[in-house]
Amino acid sequence: MYSIVSTGIVCGIQSLFIQVEADVSDGMPTFEMVGALSSEVKEAKERIRAAIRNSGFCLAPKRVTVNLYPADIHKAGTGFDLPIALAVLAAYGQVSQACLEGILFAGEISLNGEILPATGVLPMALAAKEAGKEVVCIPRANIGEAQVVRGMKILPVDSLRQAIAQVEGFCRNPQSAETAEPKKDFWDGAGAPACDFADIRGQRVLKRACEVAAAGRHNMLMLGMPGSGKTMAAKAIAGILPPLTEEEALELAKIYSVSGMFGQREAGQFWTRPFRSPHHTVSAAGLAGGGAAPKPGELSLAHKGVLFLDELTEYKKPVLEVMRQPLEERVIRLVRSSGTYVYPADVMLVAAMNIATTKLIQWETAEKPENKAFRGFCGFIFSLFEPFFC
């Protein structure tokens, strides 16, 4: 028998539809999976076999072939486990194919049949709504992401057996199935900023410089003694920037959904400007994004907010050079063999240096004029900013 189930894959912060086909036929008992799959997707067949068995289903030894198309798109991640398991069960006749139509599925499966959370559920739900689908079946831990999408019906599940019961119950009577209500607090407005600008006492020149920089979204470099309030001022800048629009808040929520960090921010906090302060040991990939399965970096996590680099001279030069193009174009393009990933990176860059460090730079350049590499490095740092010396 043949069956087909809809799911999605995240490319950048957008989602593409993936169709999971399953075919069960007579022949040598095998379980084959094709369609440009990564190692974690290929390993899904072992998880699915154990999950189906431990969920109480008995499948006859047959030749099982699973295809994920379009076949020219590289598939990575563990969110394909649930749709593959349901496609196989439907091909065996254990689940009605008619009940699976019009629903987008995503989720990872453990060996005992438990449904574990997946990343990128929010972009998938938005893509499903744009494509005309009204129902998504996702892990219960990902309810908060799908509830952001207005008008979307959600079937939250904890196990494979419950997923089948939910889908069949919704097919028979859409009103009787357990569905999650839309998340209203996401659209209710902004939360409180991390640091209130009004709490800064004195520092008139510093506050005026922060206001001018925030008004024009200029990059800013602060020089001062340790403990003079540079970090506090950087945190407060995010609070005096204009409120995020609905489109910007949704874009920021998609970035955190793809990163697997959606649960680390309260719903109302997506309306506040983010503040990110990576340590000076951060790598170029940690700042710009990347990895075996590309994920957004600190530049994207600070989208529409403030990226604060404390002790700027401690950062490695290759890490600082990564920021040159994103600061100009406001996006990051990661080109990999599996495709091109585009992440937004519209940030206000704020950096800080100690006065002692500044004097060291002046001494080095004055006493060692032959040290061209060092002078070039210092010139590169200052070229990133429209400086405000405070």
| Tens-digit pLDDT profile for residues 244-258 | 888 898 899 999 999
Percent of the chain surpassing pLDDT 70: 85
Say if pTM beats, i.e. exceeds, 0.85: no
pLDDT at 360 over 60: no
pLDDT at 388 over 50: no
pLDDT at 390 over 90: no
pLDDT at 267: 55
Q: In what helix (H) or strand (E) does residue 153 lie, and over which residues does it extend?
A: strand 153-157
Q: What is the mean pLDDT of the chain?
A: 85
The domain locations on the chain are: 2-183, 197-383
pLDDT at 387: 45
pLDDT at 203 over 80: yes
Q: In what helix (H) or strand (E) does residue 376 lie, and over which residues does it extend?
A: helix 372-383
* The pair of three-digit structure tokens given for residue 356, joined into one six-digit string: 């002692």
**Number of helices followed by number of strands (H, E) in the chain:** 16, 17
| pLDDT tens digits for range 9-54 | 998 888 999 999 999 999 889 999 998 888 889 999 999 999 999 9
- CATH-assigned architecture of domain 197-383: 3-Layer(aba) Sandwich (3.40)
Bridge partners, 334 (sequence order): 341
| pLDDT tens digits for range 298-357 | 999 999 999 999 989 899 999 999 999 999 999 999 888 777 889 999 999 999 988 755
Q: Taking the C-alpha atoms of 250, 255, 261 and 262 in order, what is their torsion angle to the nearest 10 degrees?
A: 20
Annotation: CATH topology of 2-183 = Ribosomal Protein S5; domain 2 (3.30.230)
Task: Report CA-CA distances (Å) from 51 to 86, 118, 217, 251, 377.
Answer: 11, 17, 52, 35, 56
**Among the listed residues 100, 104, 197, 89, the one whose alpha carbon sits nearest the alpha carbon of residue 142:** 104
Q: For the residues of 283-339, what is the DSSP string, one character each?
A: -HHHHHEETTTTEE-HHHHTTTSEEEEESGGGS-HHHHHHTHHHHHHSEEEEEETTE
